Structure 1
Amino acid sequence: MYDMTRFTPQDMAKCSLVLRQLGRNTASMEACSQKIVKFIYQHFCSSETGENSCVLVRLFKTHPYGELEDSLQQSVRRLMNHNSPASDMKCWTLLAAAGAEPQWNSRHTAAQNTAIGLVSAELVAQMPTISEIIRQFGLDIPTVIGTQRERFLQLESAVLNIFHVSEAKGSLLIPEQKSLIIPYQVKSVLVFGGLLPSGSLFAVEIFLKVKISQNTAEMFKHLALSVKTALLLGDEKVVFDSSNTAAKSAINNDFHETQFLEYQISNLIQLLDFSEQEMLRQASRFQQTIDKLQREIADRKNKEQALPLSQESFTGIINVPHDGIVRLEDNQGSQRFNQGEEQI
């Protein structure tokens, strides 16, 4: 179990190891995605009460309209006034979900619109959550919807990032206020993900009952790489569950084993980079703490050295034998007096 409010680098490393393995022995990306969201929903809990920290976990992927199954294509057309889009138009597609309500545990029932057409850069810019995820991931809308293929090829290996809304209630970036945020008392929203070699963007979206800091959210960049690795363990072309998924996977096994090894090498290099960056970040924090403690110790020593001199001077003044000196409180009561005052 992992506590979101006390999530440590050690927790991140353990969770990352598990997530990377969830793609094994799965016949489709959808099946792998369901394992991922279920694991996150079940294993992020309060260390004090054992209660789930997540209200809802969803995994999305951009996918060409022409490669969607019929029900998803219907969802896209419903939002486009039943017009048929181009087959290569990217769609924001729900692959998996897990949550507090029974209907949230299947992509078929977790949302009214399970696929949204990313028709143009102008229209995507009007979708607050999607456009902000793209921006905070360090991307631009034309790259994600596929109109700048060259730029994507330069970015794919490097883009793994987060989208974090610390205060979900009232946020204009989260439109599901009345249906989700308010009734389920969602405190924070976290999305982490990146780019796949196919040109698709993937994003894991978590609605949390607890508020998390930016530092905690930043650690999920590392988990984004693990999720990417898991999604690529199977055939990336076999996205949705179907009756002939297993057969397709078996036929192409040799080819994809080679491809998988190439992806693994690339991802392991990225993982090493991330680990080194995290180690440097922790070392920098540790050094800052040491520097602060050293400054506090030096300051305390200076004060301790100055105190006797101050006391000596004060004692010399206060104990002048022939003059009476009295220190009074606000209520005129005597707080302290010297020997001269005592004699008087």
Structure 2
Amino acid sequence: MYDITLFTPQDMAKCSLVLRHLGRNTASMEATSQKIVNYIYQHFCDSQTGENSCALVRLFKTHPYGELEDSLQQSARRLMKGNSPATDMKCWTLLAAAGTEPQWNSRHTAAENTAIPLVSPKLVAQMPAISEIIRQFGLDIPTFLGIERERFLQLEPAVLNIFYVSEAKGSPLIPEQNSLIIPYQVKSVLGFGGLLPSGSLFAVVMFLKVKISQSRAEMFKDLALSVKTALSLPDEKSVFEYSENPTTFVTNNNNCETQLLEYQVATLMQLLDFSEQEMLRKAARFQQTIDNLQRELAEHKNKEQALKISQNSFTGILTIPNDAILQVEENHEIQRFNQGEEQI
């Protein structure tokens, strides 16, 4: 179990290890996604009460309309008032969910709209949660909607980030105020994700019943790569568990085995690069903290030394026995006097 308000680097390492391996021995990306949200929902709890820290956990992925299964295509067409999107149009697709209510534990019943067509930059900009996830992940909407292959190859390794809303209640970024945020007392919303090798964007979104800080939220950037690794293992297989025509992934084929091994090596290299970059970033931040403390300590010592010199000089003046010395404030009140004044 992990208490998100007390989340440590050790907890992060343990959670990351588990999530990274959830993509093994699964037939589809949807099955892997369900494992991921179930694990997060079940294992993030209040350390005192044991109550789940999340009201709801969702995992989204962008997917071409033409490759969606029928129920998801129907959801997309419903939002477009019966019109059919282009086959290559990206749709913001719910792959898995887990939460407090029984209906939240299946993508088929977890939300009214399970596939949202991303028609144009203008319309996407009017979707506050989606457009803000894109922005906080470090992308702009036009680039996101029309990533070219060359541009994507440059962006894919770098796009791993968080989506964070400190105060969920009343936030324009979270439209489900009356149906989710208020009745289930959601305090903060935290998401993390990035780009998959296929070119799809993925995001895990946690609706938290506790409030967390920006620094604590930043730690979840590390989990983005683990989830990416888990989702990428079945990325060449069928995406949807109940697809009528799932793509068969033949593991005993030498070419497929070679491709899988090459991908695993590339992922491990990316994991190593990411870990080293995070280590350097944290080391730089730690060094900056030390430098600031040393600077503050030096300033304190200088002030202390100046005060001591001032006090010694003033004390020496006050101890002169034959002269009367007074310390008078602006309001003419006497604050201090020496023995000479006392004798007078």
TM norm. shorter chain > 0.5: yes
Q: How many residues align?
A: 344
Aligned to 2:343: 343
Alignment RMSD (CA, Å): 2.8
CA contact (8 A) 1:94 1:115 kept: yes
Q: Deviations over 1:95-123 (max 9, x none)?
A: 00011111111111110111111222322
Deviation at 1:231, TM superposition (A): 0.8
> Structure 1 residues 170 and 289 mapped into 2: Cα distance closer, same or farther (>3 Å)?
same
CA contact (8 A) 1:328 1:336 kept: yes
Aligned to 1:193: 193
Deviation at 1:43, TM superposition (A): 1.7
Deviation at 1:341, TM superposition (A): 3.8
Whole-angstrom distance in 2 between the partners of 1:300 and 1:106: 59
SS in 2 for 1:215: helix
Does the alignment pair 1:79 with 2:63? no
SS in 2 for 1:91: strand
The one-letter code of the counterpart of 1:33 is S
Q: Percent identity?
A: 78
Deviation at 1:150, TM superposition (A): 4.0
Deviation at 1:83, TM superposition (A): 1.9
Whole-angstrom distance in 1 between the partners of 2:202 and 2:54: 19
Aligned to 2:100: 100
> Structure 1 residues 24 and 301 mapped into 2: Cα distance closer, same or farther (>3 Å)?
same
Whole-angstrom distance in 2 between the partners of 1:68 and 1:263: 25
The one-letter code of the counterpart of 2:201 is L
The one-letter code of the counterpart of 1:31 is A
CA contact (8 A) 1:144 1:200 kept: no
Instruction: Report matched runs for 1:290-309 at 5 Å.
Output: 290-309=290-309
Whole-angstrom distance in 1 between the partners of 2:153 and 2:181: 36
Instruction: Report matched runs for 1:29-44 at 5 Å.
Output: 29-44=29-44
Does the alignment pair 1:241 with 2:230? no
Deviation at 1:253, TM superposition (A): 6.1
Aligned to 1:321: 321
SS in 1 for 2:94: strand
Q: Deviations over 1:205-262 (max 9, x none)?
A: 1111222222222222221111111012225341111388899345776544332222
> Structure 1 residues 254 and 115 mapped into 2: Cα distance closer, same or farther (>3 Å)?
farther
Aligned to 1:170: 170
Contiguous gaps of at least 5 residues in structure 2: none
Aligned to 1:212: 212
SS in 2 for 1:248: coil
Whole-angstrom distance in 2 between the partners of 1:22 and 1:249: 17
CA contact (8 A) 1:129 1:174 kept: yes
Aligned to 1:52: 52
Aligned to 2:27: 27
Q: TM-score, normalised by structure 2?
A: 0.89
Aligned to 2:12: 12
Q: TM-score, normalised by structure 1?
A: 0.89
> Structure 1 residues 246 and 255 mapped into 2: Cα distance closer, same or farther (>3 Å)?
farther
Q: Deviations over 1:168-212 (max 9, x none)?
A: 222211111111112222222122111112221111111112222
Deviation at 1:126, TM superposition (A): 1.7
SS in 2 for 1:129: helix
CA contact (8 A) 1:27 1:246 kept: no
